[in-house]
Amino acid sequence: MPLAHYLYDNALVLGPTGRLDHDNCETFREELAPHLARSAKDGTSIVLDLSGLEYVSSAGLRCFMLAAKQAKAQNSRIVIAAMQPVVAEIFQIARFNLVFEAFPKVRDALAALSPAAAAAFDRG
Amino acid sequence: MRVRFWGTRGSIPVALTSADIRDKVAEALFRAEGRRFESVGEAHDFAAKHLDFALTHTFGGHSPCVEIETGIQEYLVCDMGSGARPFGAHVLARQSGKPATVNVFMSHVHWDHIMGFPFFGPAYVPGTHIRIHGCHEVIEQAFRLQQAPPCFPVEFSQLTADIEFVKLTPGRAHEISGVQVTPTPQMHSGESYGYRFAAGGKVVVYTTDSEHKLENRAQTERFVRFFHGADLVVFDAMYSLADAISVKADWGHSSNIIGVELCQMARVKHLVLFHHEPAYDDAAIEGVLRETRRFEELTRGTQALRISAAYDGLEIDV
């Protein structure tokens, strides 16, 4: 699962796609790790753009939980945006809606994190 | 086989409060919207057809005790939580004075799983045979300790039934009263054991107080094998997944999500959510059941998985 990433000022948007489950969750974690490390170093906030994520299993949810824990420990922010309805339902059933701040659109998430990031997003 | 649930709550027994009852009655009257009923029977039919389970019933509050009826004279029961008291009354009524033989299978000896034994009526009936099976070394010690002064007025040695402790070997199929019983170790403080009961071509798995670590593929595969093809799996679904892998990690319990995933992988027919969180009221447990069924729909492969939430008094024919 390729992890697309775009920087908007001081916010990084990461876009996992497809399915996130037992088979690829470790790869996802490995791809996420340098971004979390950067976030700790320079304070970059992270938006997980889940518009391309079709399904997430418990193993995938665990990856999100570990990322949330790491972000909290290093005083950085990681939020969720643009979940597809099925993924949003799974988040709700697993109570991950209580773990992550979630936004309907990436733009909304950026605006909540940083006006400069939202402005950069608007500039394209 | 018939599985009869005498206690389904985890950690500590709970009871409905008077305010809970008042709220249920008030809500039911409100939902009736001025209907007139000619008899209690009519009102009963309305409640059964039109009102939520959580409004007209309760999931109950006894701690774990689950009977497995196999059609033989002897009784089989998992754990001796507070549900053992009504189970004992059921045994006494059914025996009509004749001494019973009761085979108990202990998941572990935490208090919520043994606390019903001092109130288990058949233990006070001479001639009754009680065989307490398990894999821990400390089962007899735990049963004796909870009845030792100053905790209880009747010491274990005063019980008049013939009580025997039988050590089982994890991973081995034991033939007990016509049923093949296989215990397996589970992750829980002090370790716990799940049981796979096979008889007459049917399989029931009792797996409570069991945490599943998502990162441990070998453990997942072991449980998929243990559950494989079961007609019924009674599963510890105490927490949400988010809680189970964060603030309540290493507390030794699992979630509805993991229950569905394991049962789907193992091609189980029926999953029963069990060991309910004592802080949950009836509406919360019914909500968990509704969401779990929805999760199963979202993730269903080629075989549908039936899902129920256990309640005290539930009977399931397998």
- Cα–Cα distance for residue pair B20/B18, rounded to 1 Å: 5
Q: What is the pLDDT of residues B74-121, one digit of tens each?
A: 999 999 999 999 999 999 999 999 999 999 999 999 999 999 999 999
Interhelix angle B256-265/B217-227, nearest 10 degrees? 70
Q: Looking at the partner chain, which of A58, A86, A96 has a beta carbon nearest the beta carbon of B261?
A: A58
A79 touching B (Cβ < 8 Å): no
DSSP B82: T
Tell the residue number behind the tokens 């753009």, with chain if given.
A49
Judge contact between B88 and B100, C-beta under 8 A.
Answer: no
Please state, for a pLDDT cut of 70, what percent of chain B lies above it.
100
Asked if B214 and B205 touch (Cβ cutoff 8 Å), the reply is no
Domain boundaries, chain A: 4-107
Chains A, B: CB contacts within 8 A come to: 51
- Judged by a CB distance cut-off of 8 A, whether residue A58 touches chain B is yes
> Does the structure show a pLDDT above 80 at A1?
no
Q: Which residue of B has its CA nearest to A85?
A: B298
Query: Does the domain spanning A4-107 belong to CATH 3.50.50.60?
Result: no
CB contact (8 A) between residue B241 and residue A95? yes
**What pLDDT does A2 receive?**
60
Residue A84 has pLDDT above 90, yes or no: yes
Predicted complex ipTM exceeds 0.90:
yes
Q: Mark yes or no for CB contact B246/A58 under 8 Å.
A: no
pTM over 0.80: yes
Query: Does A65 contact B242 at a Cβ distance shorter than 8 Å?
Result: yes
Under an 8 A CB cutoff, do A89 and B298 touch?
yes
Relative to beta strand A53-56, strand B232-236 is: unpaired
Q: pLDDT for B232-256, tens place per residue? A: 999 999 999 999 999 999 999 999 9
Which residues in chain B are closer than 8 Å to A30, comparing Cβ atoms?
Answer: none
Q: What's the Cα-to-Cα distance from B261 to each of A62, B223, B241, rounded to whole Å?
A: 14, 11, 12
Fold of B2-14+58-317: Metallo-beta-lactamase; Chain A (3.60.15)
The alpha carbon of residue A38 is apart from the nearest alpha carbon of chain B, in Å, by 24
State which residue of chain A sits closest to B262, comparing Cα positions: A58
**C-alpha span between B188 and B108 (Å, rounded):** 9
> Cα-Cα-Cα-Cα dihedral of A12, A17, A19, A21, to 10°?
-30
- The closest alpha carbon to A106, from A2, A8, A34, belongs to A8
Provide residues of B within 8 Å CB-CB of chain A. 214-215, 217, 220, 240-243, 245-246, 255-258, 261, 291-292, 294-295, 298-299
Considering only CA atoms, which of A57, A16, A51, A12 is closest in space to residue B241? A57
Domain spans of chain B, in order of start: 2-14+58-317, 18-31+38-56
Chain B residue numbers with beta carbons less than 8 Å from the beta carbon of A99 are 242, 246
* Per-residue pLDDT at B124 exceeds 80: yes
